[in-house]
Structure formats: C-alpha cells, structure tokens
C-alpha cells in the first residue's frame, strides 16, 4: 500500500489550470505548434497544484520563473500555414 497522498483534480481545478496556461500563452494554437513546451508547462502546473500551490497568481509566477516571460498568444506563421493546408484553405 502506497503512503503517497493522491490529490484528485476537480473540473474547477482543471479549468483554473487551463486559464493559467492560456493567460501565459500556452493556448490551443501553441499546444499544437509546440506540444513539448505545452506538455512540460502543464505537468509543472499539475505537480505544483498537487503539492499544494492553488493560487493562480503563484502558479503564473512559477511558469514565468521556469520558462521566462509570457509566450505570444499569436500563432506562428508556420502553424497558420499548416492549419490552412489541413483545412483546404488557400495559403496566405
């Protein structure tokens, strides 16, 4: 039997963590164009949350401390070209 404490994330907790990621620029476009950094950031937040850090401000500061300033919420041109090609739209 494990002596580890298991914290269950509720829907409201997941929404809060997602909002922290979104505010830091780790939104849907970035998660597709750069999944590795998105996954690392998400794992960091979940780990911090499990260890008791539940404040949005504190979690945001930790993201910035680990990864630097906020990422641009604007999709990179390569992502937009790929998205257009997949959707069958003309490339701009």
Domain residue ranges in the chain: 11-86
Query: Mean pLDDT, the chain, as a whole number?
Result: 78
Cα 77 to chain centroid, rounded:
20
pTM over 0.85: no
In the predicted model, is pLDDT for residue 20 greater than 60? yes
pLDDT, position 1: 46
Q: Are 45 and 20 in contact (CB under 8 A)?
A: yes
Mean per-residue pLDDT, 73-89: 67
Instruction: Taking the CA atoms of 60, 30, 75 and 13 in sequence, report the sign of the dihedral they define.
Output: negative
């Amino acid at each position: 039997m494990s002596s580890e404490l298991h914290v269950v994330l509720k829907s409201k907790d997941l929404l809060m963590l997602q909002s922290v990621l979104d505010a830091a620029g780790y939104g849907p476009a970035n998660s597709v164009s750069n999944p590795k950094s998105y996954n690392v950031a998400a794992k960091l937040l979940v780990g911090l949350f499990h260890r008791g850090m539940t404040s949005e401000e504190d979690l945001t500061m930790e993201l910035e401390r680990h990864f630097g300033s906020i990422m641009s919420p604007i999709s990179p041109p390569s992502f937009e070209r790929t998205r257009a090609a997949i959707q069958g739209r003309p490339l701009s």
